[in-house]
Amino acid sequence: MSSSVGGRTWKNLTREDAAEIKERLLMQGGVEEEVKSPSEEWRVKLSDSTFTFYKNGTLYSTPSRSQDRNVLDMWSYIDSRSPRFKTPSRDLLIGLDETGKGEIIGHVVLAGVIFPKDLFDELSDIVSTADTKRRHNFKYWDEIFRRIDGLMKHGFRYEVQMISPEEVDEYNLNKIMDVTYQRILSKIYERCRYAFL
């Protein structure tokens, strides 16, 4: 279950689902609050988490710092009505991404991950709460990394590579990114082939 690092988000809820969720929140002791922007449909405070339903069909719950059982149970209930992710059918999942591609100064950072599908729900709980659009202190990111790092004993593996500005100037960025991603996949394979086979 998610920690206090971040809240939870569900997208594309129907108005009917949202109405039933709101009713359940109120039955659990939630208190309706005044909406704070025209994009909001309703707000309900349950314990130390505020559930906000937006007119575009998104429902957001702020973090529960206390990990209140009522909030966690509500998250599970909403997940059962509107799963945030499709359960994977493959035994192993691989993901690749980069950051810094559009920056003028600094390295382009590329990362690759591989993990067994049994970790999917736990990982989705950890990373889906991460707010990457705002600045956070070291403790915020360290807590997320600590939780992910704890999954290494269960088969989670990752590899990070950087492309320097000099390399970007000398080579075509997309081509060097392709080569770097191939290197990442090769290292991940070498590191985990015995663990998964």
Q: CATH number of the domain at 58, please.
A: 3.30.310.10
Please identify, among 25, 54, 81, the residue that sits at the C-terminal boundary of a domain.
81
**Are 32 and 40 contacting, i.e. CB atoms less than 8 angstroms apart?**
no
Token pair 């909403």 in the structure block, residue: 78
Q: Can you read off the two tokens belonging to residue 99?
A: 């950051």
37: in domain: yes
From CA 94, how far away is CA 106, in angstroms rounded? 26
**Are 71 and 49 contacting, i.e. CB atoms less than 8 angstroms apart?**
yes
The DSSP code for 176 is: H
Q: Do residues 102 and 127 both lie within one domain?
A: yes
**Are 109 and 179 contacting, i.e. CB atoms less than 8 angstroms apart?**
no
45: in domain: yes
The torsion angles phi and psi of 118, rounded to 5 degrees, stand at -60, -20
Q: Do residues 105 and 184 both lie within one domain?
A: yes
The pLDDT of residue 45 is: 97
Distance of CA 157 to the CA centre of its chain: 17
- Full residue range of the structural domain in which residue 105 is found: 92-196
Q: What is the CATH number of the domain that holds 125?
A: 3.30.420.10
pLDDT along the chain (197 residues), means of 10: 60 92 96 94 96 93 86 89 74 88 79 91 75 76 89 91 82 86 90 61
Q: Do residues 177 and 104 both lie within one domain?
A: yes
Of the candidates 97, 66, 74, the one whose C-alpha atom is nearest the C-alpha of residue 8 is 74
The pLDDT of residue 8 is: 84
What lies within 8 Å, CB to CB, of 98 at 6+ separation is 108, 109, 110, 111, 177
- Strand pairing category for 40-46 and 49-54: antiparallel
Q: Do residues 112 and 181 both lie within one domain?
A: yes
The torsion angles phi and psi of 177, rounded to 5 degrees, stand at -65, -40
86: in domain: no
1: in domain: no
169: in domain: yes
Q: Do residues 17 and 108 both lie within one domain?
A: no
What's the total number of domains in the chain? 2
Q: Do residues 108 and 191 both lie within one domain?
A: yes
What lies within 8 Å, CB to CB, of 145 at 6+ separation is none
The pLDDT of residue 167 is: 82
